[in-house]
Structure 1
């Protein structure tokens, strides 16, 4: 692919229509990614930027410089360092990073798919992590602008469930510890086998929830000793 053309495209603000033309000229109009671009350009647009850069030999660091992306994660969301920041938002900060890297890996896999089933599963993974990232950003933006939580993300209900654990006695906690350890093992086994790749994002979400519950149970039990 012509590196100069991609470079000028990035300098011009990376308009979607021109990026679509550049990709189609290099990969062909029948490439499955073209369909994703037309179906949901919000999800596919960041992938398009990275893919065109990769095909043109332009590093991601150079892409960031060209597009003048500034600021670190903590600089964008300074409230995360405040002692009074709601714990739910601190948890979401870690989940946001996970969603981002899952998105990046799915993007890399998208162009290595050899079957329709793999394409569908990978696109599903892209969509799920895109939606998760968008939901987290909505919470962050609301708190940044209003100083109060939006409270729509499932993490708030999850944290309420964690609070209920603190009311349990030692015997109940020990039973729950055993149950949660089995749940974590089972989900890890499902992820390793990967027999239903379209369920991967949901399984990873359940894994994070179960691990947070297990961590809380172990902490409560250690405080009782």
Structure 2
């Protein structure tokens, strides 16, 4: 990529999750968002204790696995904002904290979310205020589109822009983009690791886990049955 092309990029993509563990699907999403949304970087926003999801692995192990997965890519970062905040994890509070940290710097923030999260947005704390602090980019992994409540679609009307214009403003916009389907998912990886070793499972895990993450899991015995 030329220097001019790199400088044309701006904004920080925020990919939140428990990353238990991080896998190639997460990295593929980050690459797709960087390209389609013309972002300068993606922050992996580690959620230590999200209120809608249970977590099996310590936040320290999950952070170190993210570090292994993004090593060597300067446009991917680990963001520990939610780790250092006590109590339950709410996205609106995280966005407020990030904006406060930026001060008056009008850096575009782009919160990445899947179709399932978008369809469920009404359950999020202060969901209508999210665009006061960031833009929203909703991705579809090639699956069938979910039914979205009318209140959400009506709220998004007038805010929707093409993906390559999502960073035209620091906040306030919504876009939708498509990414190639990816089979990897964290729950299936945990299930495979907990099963007796087999060639079929090993092939899947090799294609789904970044090499450094697989090594870390093996070295620390993560996701294995407790004897």
- Relative to its length, the structure with more helix (as a share) is 1
Structure 2 length-normalised TM: 0.21
- Relative to its length, the structure with more strand (as a share) is 2
Of the two, which has the highest radius of gyration?
Answer: 1
Q: Which has the higher contact order (CA 8 A, sep 6+)?
A: 2
Structure 1 length-normalised TM: 0.21
